Amino acid sequence: MATQAELNKYVEELPDIYREILAAFPRFMPTRKTGFGLAFQSLAADFEERGLKFSLGEIILACEKLRERGLVKIKHRLFVCPTERGEQLISAITGLEPAAAVTVPDLPPLP
């Protein structure tokens, strides 16, 4: 496992598209659970809203490269889901930890 100093150095050298993809997870969905993903189109919409000039094709290609490095998984050819290593990198980029699991009371059985 990388030290915090190693992660910080890696983040500094990370090209913008990768940093923006990883930083989007907590920004887009602040209460997401660890490992929960975003659709490629959600990332593209977030980038467009913030004025970033990355195309959907560039986002998909960058996510595939993140997958090759073991930082994300791509599920159903649609959702980008951070791995444990990806979550560590997201925390290093954003300074945020993934939100705790959200719970609600059990639903009583119908009479």
Task: List domains and CATH numbers for the chain.
Answer: 4-94 (1.10.10.10)
Does the pLDDT at position 98 exceed 80? Answer: no
Residue 96 scores a pLDDT above 90: no
Rounded CA separation 53/36 (Å): 25
The pTM of the full predicted model, rounded to 2 decimals, is: 0.84
Mean pLDDT of the chain: 90
68-72, long-range: CB < 8 A, 24+ apart: 71/22, 72/37
Average pLDDT over residues 30-37: 81
Q: What is the pLDDT of residue 92?
A: 92
Mean pLDDT of 73-99: 90
CA distance 91 to 104: 26
- Of 63 and 111, the structure prediction assigns the larger pLDDT to 63
